[in-house]
Amino acid sequence: MEEAGISVKAERLIAVLDMSKHDFPPALTYVYKFFIRCEAENEILKPGIETNDVGFFSLQEIYLLPLSKERNIIDNFEMIFADERSKENVVICD
């Protein structure tokens, strides 16, 4: 994953979301977000050109982060953590 400098292997699709159907601010472009579960091939994190810092976070820690709402909303993180807990392999699509 380029922004965190970590190598990953894609495992499965979690969701395909239409940003216009969720709590994102209005945008000039029409965007679908793809959420893919990945397995880390290494856990050596390093910031890249687009990031100041990188790390692994619990959902409780994510609640405290100043998210860029244009790209990330808390509902997305809750969906990802719920998927990890459930192990049902259900793909969510708008």
Mean pLDDT of 61-73: 84
**Higher per-residue confidence, 2 vs 75:** 75
Give the pLDDT score at 13.
Answer: 96
* Parent domain of 75: 8-93
Cβ distance 68 to 4 under 8 Å? no
Looking at the chain, the whole-number percentage of residues with pLDDT higher than 70 is 98
In the chain, the number of structural domains is 1
85 found inside a domain: yes
Q: Rg for the chain (alpha carbons), in Å?
A: 14
In the sheet where 32-40 sits, what is the strand order? 32-40, 8-18, 92-93
Question: Is the whole model's pTM more than 0.85, yes or no?
Answer: no
33 found inside a domain: yes
16 found inside a domain: yes
Question: Cα–Cα distance between 63 and 3 in angstroms, integer?
Answer: 20
3 found inside a domain: no
48 found inside a domain: yes
- Please tell me the least confidently modeled range out of 1-5, 47-51, 56-60, 85-89: 1-5
pLDDT at 45 over 80: yes
Question: Cα–Cα distance between 28 and 10 in angstroms, integer?
Answer: 30
1 found inside a domain: no
